[in-house]
Structure formats: structure tokens, C-alpha cells
Copies of this chain bind each other. A is one copy, B any other.
Amino acid sequence: MRAGRPRDEGVRRAILVAAQELVLERGYAAVTMGDVAKRAGAGKQTLYRWWPGKGALVLDAFSEWVSQAPRLRGPRRPSLSSTLVELCRGASEAAPVLRALMAEAQFDEDLHRRLLAQLVRPRGDELRACLVDRRPADRELVVNVLSGLVWQRLMLNEPLDARFVRFALRVVERI
């Protein structure tokens, strides 16, 4: 939910920044809504007005992290490989948070829906946008395969490094 008034928007930004800082400093599991409220100089009830719980708040704080796709840098359509490199870089940096959120989502349906809407689908759309030359059926197939490989690596705590990107692109070439 977006806050409308400028003052609200300022408080909201402060809360998101505090959540991001604290999770990076202490790890997802060690941070509470109270910690975030204190760091942001906001009331705990303000946090609960905008977010149902820690999962949804941390998801908002990090969902932009993995979406710095290279399309933002220029007018040309980005290549699949540069998009995948950026996606893996972002996912690598935020890996502990992403793993924690996906884990918590297994027990929390609302967070599961948010994770799909804010992270899984938008990243799929970024990949899909690089595949306009492919037949629509193939496009879905490639997006599914890449998304599966990335999430599997994350959950198995294996690196999303340059070697992985080469491997994933080799898979895509064959499809």
C-alpha cells in the first residue's frame, strides 16, 4: 500500500531504508518490527498500518534490489545475457534475504502472493522482454527454465556467478 501524502512518503522511505540496513547488518531472522520502528524513528503501529508483518516489509525494502535491469541504462533493448548477468548479480547480493523470504512464504500465503507479484513475475517479465524474437511458446519455456535454475541455486545456496550464467545461457541456446 502506498502512502499518499508527502510526509507519509518520507516516513515510509525511512522505514524501508531502516529495514534494509538492519537486515543487511544482522540478517533477516534477527530483525524485529520493533527494531525497524526504532531505527526509523517511527511508531510500531505506523509500520503495521502499512505492512502486515516483517516479511511484507522486508520484501518491499528489497524488491527493487534485484530489478536494476540494464534497460534502465539506455534506449536499446537489453540482451538476454546482460539481463541475466544483472539479475544474478542482484540476486547474489540479496541471496540471504531472498532465501529467508521464500522460506517464510512457505508458511504465509499472503507473503507468498506478494513474493510472486513483486519478485518472481517482474523478473520473469524482464527476461521475457529479451526474448521477443522467439515464438511465444518457446519464450515461456525459456523464462520457466531460467527462473527455475535461479531459484534452485538460491535455495540450495549455490553461487549465481559468471559460471552459472554461462551454463544457463548454454541451456537457453539449446532450447
**Residues of A in contact with B (beta carbons under 8 Å apart):** 29, 99-100, 102-104, 106-107, 112, 116, 120, 141, 144-145, 147-149, 151-153, 155-157, 167, 170-171, 174-175
Of the residues B106, B116, B171, B174, contact of A100 by C-beta under 8 Å: B106
Of the residues B103, B112, B170, B174, contact of A157 by C-beta under 8 Å: B112
- CA A148 – CA B171 in complex, angstroms? 12
Nearest Cβ distance between residue A106 and chain B, in whole angstroms? Answer: 4
Number of copies: 2
Most chain B CB atoms below 10 A, which of A120, A155, A170: A155
- Nearest first, the 8 closest Cβ-Cβ pairs linking A and B are A148-B148, A103-B103, A148-B152, A103-B106, A148-B149, A99-B106, A174-B175, A151-B152
A171 touching B141 in the complex, CB below 8 Å, given contacts A151-B151, A151-B152, A155-B151: yes
- CA A145 – CA B99 in complex, angstroms? 20
Contact B116 A141 (CB under 8 A): no
Nearest Cβ distance between residue A156 and chain B, in whole angstroms? Answer: 7
- CA A165 – CA B153 in complex, angstroms? 21
Contact A107 B116 (CB under 8 A): no
Contact B103 A107 (CB under 8 A): yes
- CA A152 – CA B153 in complex, angstroms? 10
| Residues of B close to A156: CB separation below 8 A | 116, 120
